[in-house]
Structure 1
Amino acid sequence: MDIRTIDARLSVSPQIRPEDVPAIAAAGYRTIICNRPDGEDAAQPPAAAIAAAAEAIGLAFTHLPVVPGQASDTDAALMANALANLLGPVLAYCRSGSRSEKLAAMAERRTGPETPGDFDIVIVGGGAAGIATAASTLRRNRDVKLAVIEPSDDHYYQPGWTMVGAGVFDAPFTHRREATLIPRGAEWIKVAVARFEPDANRVELADGRRIAYRVLVVCPGIKLDWDAIPGLAATLGRNGVTSNYRYDLAPYTNRLVRQFQGGTAIFSQPPMPIKCAGAPQKAMYLSCHRWEKTGILDAVDVQFHTAGAALFGVEAYIPALMDYVERYDIDLNFASQLVAIDGPARIATFEQRRGDDVTRVERHFDMIHVVPPQVAPDFIRSSPLSAPSGFVAVDEATLRHPAYPNIFSLGDACAAPNAKTAAAARKQAPVVAVNALAALAGKPPTADYDGYGSCPLTVESGKIVLAEFGYDGKLLPSFPSWLIDGTRPSRLSWLLKDTILPPVYWHGMLKGREWMVKPHPIDANG
């Protein structure tokens, strides 16, 4: 290797290969910086391959790619930050070493205040996952320069919308102004993201600005695709068509159920993934319980149409749910997907699979609770960060992107195979905070996530089946079985949902208070 020493802290070299990394470590270097974009040369090993080789023997690695002849002030700022904060000595490389040397010289000459828009950590998304991660990060390190990119003025406690639809909560109880939730020390950039430039460590905003980062956290949520069902968008909020998946519609659910006097009530569930997979059933059970109490349940034909093949994805909770299906005399329709709706005519069309046969059936309704299909946001699906599913690709334990070691994702936009719930985001946020700070210091991830998610299945007013599980359906109860047996309906679980969880969300999770969700150290696995 042709290594040229610039000073006691920095050396530069031409392109290195994974097999060179042990010799680099033996020479005393503790950090490797790649200043070369991937794909410049067909024979060039990708940065991720060098990163993997470095991590395997304990070296830090950072990718700060620069196109030849196009080094900018932002690139110089990122290089200056890296050289100031990463463990030395540092070896930086590009095709010949010249680009790295020039960038180091630009970083050395750089004086005055930081370039506007340069951040240590940028978080895309100011929902539950984004605010919780920002708060957890800043509680650990107040000196981190952190930005939250979120275009909305409004923030919602979405798990509360089931309770709004049941008449338990008022809708405003679930709403706060976003400005009141941005953690102290974070900068709020109130613009949408247009696209990602991960090879340049930048995001482009809808207004054309480019924001540079050293570490990126992606958690913009999930897209509710109301237009995927023909006729649905035009009839929402009238003709007996409602959904607890929207703040303005949950009160309409409450009104429909309260005023219902009998007829056909349909509840639908689309194919996975969706946020809170139990929510379609929650609306149904709570509605049935109200009709039971008012004495009209016998006059209601309750139908549940789910695109799935089972009532719930974790078998341990199905027996308790089936007890309520039988109690409320619910007509279960599996592999039955809502594909069209005619609101004025009150006709819902379903595609039903029976083996290899697919047939369309029409069902009359007097009210229908619809859950829309859900997909990754467009700017995620079309980005270099996406997995085949369209969501952000991650290692399911560390929540780090497999190709970009300074990018993490969590929440509903993350491709990890966990349930998309607020409880999952609450558990993920401290893990990402710890691992993002480790990446900022040029270190590998130090915490892992077990897939935990929770779905409090409200089977009647006053009782909940508290489903808590992780990857592969492993049961992960938070409480001993003598206190709460999650596989059985419990009044204490209702108290948790009704009284305890809302303040835990607003005053715990969003403030970086990690009650019962402290990050699990990776080295504790052994």
Structure 2
Amino acid sequence: MTKASPFPETHGKSFNVVIVGGGSAGIATASSILKRNRKLSLAIIDPADDHYYQPGWTMVGGGVFSAKFTHRKQQDVIPDRAHWIESAVMTFDPQNNSLQTSDGREIGYDVLIVCPGIKLDWEQIEGLAETLGKNGVTSNYRYDLAPYTFRLVQDMTSGRALFTQPPMPIKCAGAPQKSMYLSCSKWEREAVLDNIDVQFHNSGAVLFGVSEYVPALMEYIERYNANLNFESKLVAVNGEAKTATFEQKNGDSTRRVEESFDMIHVVPPQVAPDFVRNSPLAGVDGFVEVDQTTLRHIRYDNIFSLGDACNAPNAKTMAAARKQAPVVAVNALATLDGKPMAANYDGYGSCPLTVERGKIVLAEFGYGGKLTPSFPSWLIDGTRPSRLSWLLKDTILPPVYWHGMLKGREWMVKPQPIGSD
């Protein structure tokens, strides 16, 4: 069993590869590297004892999965040959190929891979943190709150339900509306939907960023009689009064609007982790600054980043990390060998939009919104709701995650060498 490293064992120690972050991206990359080279030394730095299949939380909020189904202990997913340093990173020193942890350790590296995820900034919304998990205020973006979402949906037979989406970037940009669709599907089946005023407040200007998927989504907006409020950003929540305050654009001006609710599903604003944002690795947006194809840092040739913490302009989804991990693995190994970059990332991301219980619009796209379907259109037309896509989300993807992605099995995401077709 891999165990956390005691302080004296790792202080001042150097590894061939150090990975910051033990989430989806970090574990998958570590496994892909170690499958290719069993002999190198590799450390994963992460303070968390728990590991989560976060794409499952939407399904928890919809009453499809249990919360427990999405959880494992971190020690059970760390690759056997990886050295787990159970601590947090405080600072990076890329000039000296080292970093410092919160408990005072200095760790050296030949290659550094940074993938600590994204910070959920609940505090940006006034009053939100104090009322989460009570007063009808919930979010599928937290493990402990997703079950509360479903309890609220089950108990609601009339009233007003608000669903919010903050400014980009956020992880899984479709998740804010997924929670709305699954809730409406439940209310429709219970024959109470006509008694519920459903409002979607999106701080953006469009329902979904890739236009080919919008017609199918709009069919469900109309079916559920949901009201769309674009350029409407949640700025405050008063749980006891059950009111939410939004800043809404009106031409060149902005006005504040207060809305009452019986239930509100909130997606928090999201930013780069503090220790990344305040480091030499960050770009102007606070995220790790990388070349969007090789995922190598634009200033430090032995540093890579992937997942939610990098600033590549792809959708921040688990599917993106699954595609990025093998690319970073082969490029990191090439760097260790003094060779040029070996693989490119095309911006692939996937967002299975759960439009009703039993059907999904499977959005798959790369850089520039280019559609990148994994299946022929006769099998799955991603622009239309599909029961087969639901089967993929409900039954196939969880074991692919636990037993494929995290184990370095690169099913359908094996990296293509640069220059190959």
Q: Please indicate the TM-score interval, normalised by the length of the shorter structure.
A: over 0.9
In the TM superposition, what is the alpha-carbon distance from 1:114 to its structure 2 partner?
11
Counterpart of 1:466? 362
* Alpha-carbon separation, structure 2, partners of 1:400 and 1:440: 13
Unaligned runs of 5+ in 2: 1-8
AA of the residue aligned to 1:241 = V
In the TM superposition, what is the alpha-carbon distance from 1:192 to its structure 2 partner?
0.1
Matched, 1:513 2:409: yes
Q: Please identify runs of 4+ aligned residues in structure 1 that moved more than 6 A.
A: none
Matched, 1:230 2:111: no
In the TM superposition, what is the alpha-carbon distance from 1:116 to its structure 2 partner?
5.6
In the TM superposition, what is the alpha-carbon distance from 1:141 to its structure 2 partner?
0.3
* Alpha-carbon separation, structure 1, partners of 2:135 and 2:404: 40
Q: Is the 8 A contact 1:265 1:368 kept in 2?
A: yes
Unaligned runs of 5+ in 1: 1-112
Q: Is the 8 A contact 1:267 1:303 kept in 2?
A: yes
* Alpha-carbon separation, structure 2, partners of 1:243 and 1:136: 33
In structure 2, which of residues 270, 281, 286 is the aligned counterpart of residue 390 of structure 1? 286
* Alpha-carbon separation, structure 2, partners of 1:355 and 1:400: 40
AA of the residue aligned to 2:108 = A
SS in 1 for 2:153: helix
In the TM superposition, what is the alpha-carbon distance from 1:444 to its structure 2 partner?
1.8
In structure 1, which of residues 136, 140, 145 is the aligned counterpart of residue 36 of structure 2? 140
* Alpha-carbon separation, structure 1, partners of 2:11 and 2:183: 56
Distance 1:489 1:441, change over 3 A: same
* Alpha-carbon separation, structure 1, partners of 2:251 and 2:38: 57
Matched, 1:221 2:117: yes
AA of the residue aligned to 1:306 = N
In structure 1, which of residues 434, 445, 455 is the aligned counterpart of residue 341 of structure 2? 445
Counterpart of 2:4? none
Q: Is the 8 A contact 2:28 2:407 kept in 1?
A: yes
Counterpart of 1:61? none
In structure 1, which of residues 348, 351, 354 is the aligned counterpart of residue 247 of structure 2? 351
Matched, 1:369 2:256: no
In the TM superposition, what is the alpha-carbon distance from 1:290 to its structure 2 partner?
0.5
In structure 2, which of residues 296, 310, 320 is the aligned counterpart of residue 414 of structure 1? 310
Q: Is the 8 A contact 1:147 1:189 kept in 2?
A: yes
Distance 1:115 1:328, change over 3 A: closer
* Alpha-carbon separation, structure 2, partners of 1:436 and 1:398: 10
In structure 2, which of residues 121, 142, 158 is the aligned counterpart of residue 262 of structure 1? 158
SS in 2 for 1:302: strand
In structure 1, which of residues 147, 163, 167 is the aligned counterpart of residue 63 of structure 2? 167
SS in 2 for 1:523: coil
In structure 2, which of residues 208, 217, 235 is the aligned counterpart of residue 339 of structure 1? 235
* Alpha-carbon separation, structure 2, partners of 1:501 and 1:338: 32
Counterpart of 1:291? 187
AA of the residue aligned to 2:180 = M
* Alpha-carbon separation, structure 1, partners of 2:96 and 2:278: 17
In structure 1, which of residues 393, 417, 426 is the aligned counterpart of residue 322 of structure 2? 426
Distance 1:294 1:218, change over 3 A: same
Counterpart of 2:74? 178
In the TM superposition, what is the alpha-carbon distance from 1:523 to its structure 2 partner?
2.2
Counterpart of 2:142? 246
Could you say what the CA RMSD is over the residues aligned between the two structures, in angstroms? 1.1
* Deviation string, structure 1 residues 251-277 (Cα, Å, up to 9, x no partner): 000100001011000000000000000
* Alpha-carbon separation, structure 2, partners of 1:230 and 1:183: 41
Matched, 1:498 2:394: yes
Counterpart of 1:44? none
AA of the residue aligned to 2:325 = A
Q: Is the 8 A contact 2:12 2:105 kept in 1?
A: no
TM-score (norm 1): 0.78
More relative contact order, 1 or 2 (CA 8 Å, 6+ apart): 2
TM-score (norm 2): 0.97
In structure 2, which of residues 288, 296, 309 is the aligned counterpart of residue 400 of structure 1? 296
Q: Is the 8 A contact 2:51 2:74 kept in 1?
A: yes
Query: Higher Cα Rg: structure 1 or 2?
Result: 1
Matched, 1:311 2:212: no
